[in-house]
Amino acid sequence: DIQLTQSPSFLSASVGDRVTITCRASQGISSYLAWYQQKPGKAPKLLIYAASTLQSGVPSRFSGSGSGTEFTLTISSLQPEDFATYYCQQLNSHPTFGQGTKVEIK
Amino acid sequence: EVQLLESGGGLVQPGGSLRLSCAASGFTFSSYAMSWVRQAPGKGLEWVSAISGSGGSTYYADSVKGRFTISRDNSKNTLYLQMNSLRAEDTAVYYCAKAAYSSVGSGDAFDIWGQGTMVTVSS
């Protein structure tokens, strides 16, 4: 199976900060990558698919980039509602998730 | 409103069985692949299984292959996960999730998720 490694695993940031999370795949996955946000006790929410396409209704401060084995999720100006855990997911026939990046308030 | 509602979770002894259901509404159920994703307490997300829109293709994680069976009844807009030979490590919240754009069963993100149902495997 394809392994995904996110970095960092934990991130402390302030409102207004620019935040970048990296996801590395163990082999090339073209642009078959999605990003999700999960808040405690809630189901994940799709933010980005096809590596860089913003899901309908998701604020434009979220953006994704990359292809092949290295991908990034960027939040241009962190808002209070963005403190959550973020997961990347590769989308082949046996999808796998990264281990998650928890974004907490500094 | 597009909605998924899981049911069927609970406490089961090791070696036991459980069947989860996921009732879908607000979209043409048969047009989309569906998946089950689980999350052990305090841990990350793990994809479990997927099924194509027609039900003709199924996929499983190695950790559940041979023990779990995914199925769907498009006439009832319902997805199922039959779980046999349950182990302590199967303890998790189980989510059903809808493929964003495809009926194929692979290669698609999950745009709608249910609220989850808790499965606890313990003696």
The predicted-structure confidence for A60-76, as pLDDT tens digits, reads as follows 999 999 999 999 999 99
- State how far residue B110 is from chain A, nearest Cα, in angstroms: 7
Among A1, A94, A101, A102, the strongest candidate for a mutation testing the B interface, having the largest count of B CBs within 10 A, is A94
The whole-number pLDDT of residue A47 equals: 98
Residue A93 has pLDDT above 80, yes or no: no
Q: How far is CA B5 from CA A32, B10, B15, B60, in A?
A: 27, 15, 26, 21
For A9-36, the pLDDT digits (tens) are 999 999 999 999 999 999 999 999 999 9
pLDDT-derived band of residue B102, with 50, 70 and 90 as boundaries? confident
Contacts with A89 from chain B: Cβ below 8 Å: 45, 47, 109-110
Contact A100 B59 (CB under 8 A): no
- Under a CB-based contact definition with an 8 Å cutoff, are residues B34 and B59 in contact? no
Contact B100 A92 (CB under 8 A): no
